[in-house]
Structure 1
């Protein structure tokens, strides 16, 4: 089921965003912060499968659209990591989350004061480098030569289009510096603990029922404890 919520839109206003919810008003309520950019596209089906499994174990969950992503009316080029952090905090409050599940780059947006889980978290610099590498490869295939450092310099002052994503100067600069939060209330779940190959490395969006079972069972056990 879809719900709507008001998120800071990066321009000093609010935008009406959608959130996918599995919600019966139960005690355990998990806010899911998705991966960023193309990894979100590749993992969305898997995330929904995990949410379905959690629902059957008595855990509510919500997957909000961030401003500038999916069906959002807010322009992506207006967003910064700071804006997305503010949006994540707003979603946590709006949906009364008791815990967080941050996946890959979602770890960079975890609101303070909430316990939860970081699944295969990635640093901002890693995410940015992957986007830059994809752009330089595409340029080379088109007969152009682009250098990562030159692109970064441009991005910091003017913004950049990377792999089809229009990123603001603030987003570029903040991704360069963004680190995985070090908080004892956040438990890291490594991909190796689930087995199998990472879905974000596949060429197309996919799902893996065994890995969805494993992650949902791990989360349910921890939340029950």
Structure 2
């Protein structure tokens, strides 16, 4: 269920990990997770979706983004460009035929593959949320920070945001990044039923009904 895949790193090639349901079948789905804490909050949903796809005859792969989870790479060395290149490498290694990008994952997914994007979000939106969280924490500690000054520092020195050390390249990339679209099908949260978005919860969670709905949407679309 855990597979290794070769990835380029700042210091040379490294092995990254992926959750894998691989039976060498015709359809093979690469899942590109959300960024930052949204990745942790939705991981169970994405693994359960892959489990259902496996039962439906579709192979699935959920790779770690470099610098995240069990990755041997440093987070501060990462950029949207590096993540985009890594996901392209993962797609080639696993011979993916389709892709599902979730939230901020839509900023770095292999656009040459057909597939789906779940509630894509702009990089600037992600960055604003991270900055506001930092400013709120600072205010509670009696320190005043403003977004413009933080951004200026971030572009040259990087910033600590939500427990992540973000380098200047990542800050600059998020400021202007938009989800790319090459004909992938957009899925809205409302398409998955009445449950709330897991990425909005304070802690990681799961929702079997949403995993069912997401897997069913993919299976029906591939079979069409």
Gap regions ≥5 residues in structure 1: none
Residue in structure 1 matched with residue 191 of structure 2 by the alignment: 193
Residue in structure 1 matched with residue 110 of structure 2 by the alignment: 111
**Cα separation, 1, equivalents of 2:51 and 2:207:** 13
Deviations 1:117-164 (A, max 9, x none): 000111111111111111001101111111111111100000011010
**Cα separation, 2, equivalents of 1:57 and 1:3:** 21
TM-score by length of 1: 0.97
Residue in structure 1 matched with residue 132 of structure 2 by the alignment: 133
Deviations 1:165-222 (A, max 9, x none): 01110000001111011222x1000111112211111111000111111111011100
Residue in structure 1 matched with residue 154 of structure 2 by the alignment: 155
Superposed displacement of residue 66, structure 1: 1.4
Residue in structure 2 matched with residue 84 of structure 1 by the alignment: 83
TM-score by length of 2: 0.98
Is the 2:134–2:161 contact (alpha carbons within 8 Å) kept by the matching residues of 1?
A: yes
SS at match of 2:181: coil
Superposed displacement of residue 99, structure 1: 0.3
Superposed displacement of residue 111, structure 1: 1.4
Is the 1:8–1:67 contact (alpha carbons within 8 Å) kept by the matching residues of 2?
A: no
Residue in structure 2 matched with residue 4 of structure 1 by the alignment: 4
Backbone CA RMSD of aligned residues: 0.9
Superposed displacement of residue 67, structure 1: 1.1
Number of aligned residue pairs: 223
Gap regions ≥5 residues in structure 2: none
